[in-house]
Chains A and B, each alone.
Chain A
Amino acid sequence: MSTSLLKCMVVFWCISRVTQVRHSRYPPTFVEPVVKKESFETELPFDVSTPVKAAPLWRTSSFTYDPLILKFINIIQKKGEKDLASYLMRKTFEQIKLRQVEKVNTAPPGDLPEIELNPKKIFHEAIENSKPLLGLQNVERGGRTYQVPTPLKESRRRFLAMKWLIEAANNKEPVIPFYQKLADELMDAYQNTGAVVKRKNDLHKQCEANRAYAHFRWW
């Protein structure tokens, strides 16, 4: 009891890296929980003595939990309106499904296995196809700013893909509902066509063109 009390006191006094995590109400020893049931089949993910954080909202063991979709909802949302953002996401999925089911119903019998009906799979594919491999970074040398091609972290790539999709959807006609435009963009990206994939390819071409400056990179 006394050691834990001391630990609590240390947590609230100290601001060093070893004793306190910045802006977190949890001490640094706490780990993120593992919610999927499959992870518990063979052996426990953590040791019995490792303290575990509480699972936040939206993260459950059910099949409706997908971290990529949650990330996307967070990027769509503005001013903290999570409800509206998740509604738009739901409508987008509905639109994608409607279109695919329509295709299935109107197609001649031979085409059936080629049409993907699962909106989550289409969403994942679309994000994968829109992720850029390299980005450009401004480096100043001798008064001139050069665009240097640089590898990107996975989180940055994912974020850029999502942001470009939403921007492309926002740039269309304002009369059409947002979710329809977003569904268009996702379908296009799934088929490797459309504005977002074009933007990615243009970026890649520029990186290729600026290959000479790659040696300016020190990171």
Chain B
Amino acid sequence: MMVRRPALEVIDYIRQTNFDQLAIKYVIYGRKGSGKTMTLNHIIHHCQAAGWLIVHIPTANGLNLKNKYDFIDSVSHEGMYDQPTSSTDWLKQFKLRNERFLKELKTTEKYVWNKRESTEKDQPLLSVLEQGLTRPKNATDVIGVLLKELQLQSYNKQFKMLYAIKAVNGLFAEETAFRKHGGYIIPVRELTLHMHFRNFLEGDWINGSIVTTVDYNLSYRQPKFYYTPFYLLGKKGFDHMDPFIPVFVDEYSDKEFESQIAYYQSKHWIQDEEANTEAGKLYLKKLSDMNPAELDKLVSWI
């Protein structure tokens, strides 16, 4: 798939960063369907190929919306709520991606999970993760512990880390879709999972980068069409994320459009004869208004 200019820019910056400094935050923004997630995926792919440790939230907006019955009273934090199923799913993905790192890195202190289970000091982080998978009740705490450990150990310069979040405005939203019996709506600030992710986002670690996108897709109760970071993050989020490097992903330019159409044609995806003519291409251009997602939808018809 076409790697566009914003992705190449960010990859270039990442290559040139001074890893002794605190992790730099990048915020990718753009209109719906303009290619923010693709940019993020290209960056993740590059870092994974370079052997980095990837901490990836597939969509922070979705954490507020999906699995809306998946909450329990938090084990370690009073007055807050954990999310066992979402946390275990996340841990599974994390394990698949970064297993080799987790085997090498060791815990720095002892963690007591409950009366019978605890993890000693200097145990591989993999055992902490396994604890989370076997005991879903502790899964969110396990995530918190893992992130804290990774934060501390980044100073050892053994590995480079990429923190990739899609739709980071979900972490700074107000409401969620979670409702308790009796109608109480759980706000975002009372969810431990979000809290852990936010603390990690503060960037008190070196040897890595933080790349995020802001998206109004799947956002809960936010009016659509405003795509700027200031609007979507809100005041709190903006203060939290500040300073960051904004990366704007625009819709296709003429050249990019042509190359995308050529790509579709080479993969036999555009079948209509008239669509392959100049007039047909112009029509597709105007109909999709140069939006990548819209072009994709159009082309699946023909």
Asked if B271 contacts A118 (CB within 8 A), the reply is yes
Q: Given A62-B283, A63-B274, A63-B275, are A101 and B269 also a contact pair (CB < 8 Å)?
A: yes
* Residues of the A chain whose Cβ atoms lie less than 8 Å from the Cβ of B269: 97, 101
- Say how far B276's CB is from chain A's closest CB, in angstroms: 10
Contact residues in A for B300 (Cβ distance below 8 Å): 90-91, 93-94, 97
Is A119 at the interface (CB under 8 A from chain B)? Answer: yes
Does A117 make an interface contact (CB < 8 A)? yes
Determine the main DSSP class of A at the interface with B. helix
The interface size bin for chain B is 10 to 19
Residues of A within 8 A of B301 (CB): 64, 90, 93
Q: Report A92-134 CB contacts with B as 1/0, cut-off 8 Å.
A: 0110010001001000000000000111100000000000000
In the complex, chain A residues whose CB is within 8 Å of the CB of B274: 63
Q: With A and B bound together, what is the CA distance between A118 and B297 in angstroms? A: 16
Tell me which residues from 243 to 302 in chain B have a Cβ below 8 Å from any Cβ of chain A.
267-269, 271-272, 274-275, 280, 283, 297-298, 300-302
Q: How far is the CA of A64 from the CA of B298 in the complex (A)?
A: 9
Q: Which of A63, A90, A97 contacts B280 (CB 8 A)?
A: A63
Neighbouring B residues of A91 by C-beta, 8 Å = 300
**CB contact under 8 A between A119 and B283, given known A93-B300, A94-B300:** no
Could you tell me the distance between the alpha carbons of A55 and B9 in the complex, rounded to whole angstroms?
A: 48
23 contacts between A and B (CB under 8 A): A62-B283, A63-B272, A63-B274, A63-B275, A63-B280, A64-B298, A64-B301, A64-B302, A90-B297, A90-B301, A91-B300, A93-B300, A94-B300, A97-B269, A97-B271, A97-B300, A101-B267, A101-B268, A104-B268, A117-B268, A118-B272, A120-B271, A120-B302
Residues of B near any A CB (own CB < 8 A): 267-269, 271-272, 274-275, 280, 283, 297-298, 300-302
Residue positions of A touching B, CB distance < 8 A: 62-64, 90-91, 93-94, 97, 101, 104, 117-120
